[in-house]
Amino acid sequence: MNLQTTIAGPASVSGVGVHSGKPARLTIRPAGEGTGVVFVRADVADRDGDIPALATRVTTTELGTNMTNDAGVSVATVEHFLAACAGLGVDNVRAELDGPELPILDGSSKPFVALLERAGLKHQAKPRRVLRILKTVEIRQGVKFARLSPGEDFTMRIAIDFPTRAIGRQAISFTMLPGAFAREIAWARTFGFAHQAEQLYAMGKGLGASMDNTVVIENDAVINPGGLQAHDEFVRHKLLDVIGDLFLAGGPIEGLYEAEQPGHALNNQLLRAVFADTSSFAWT
Active site residues: 264
- Please report the beta strands in 91-235, taking only residues with DSSP state E, as ranges in sequence order: 93-97, 121-127, 131-133, 137-141, 144-149, 154-162, 168-175, 191-193, 215-218, 221-222
Report d(CA 206, CA 96) in Å as an integer.
23
70: region left, alpha or beta (phi > 0 left; psi from -120 to 50 alpha): alpha
Q: How many CB atoms lie within 10 A of CB 51?
A: 24
Report d(CA 52, CA 37) in Å as an integer.
6
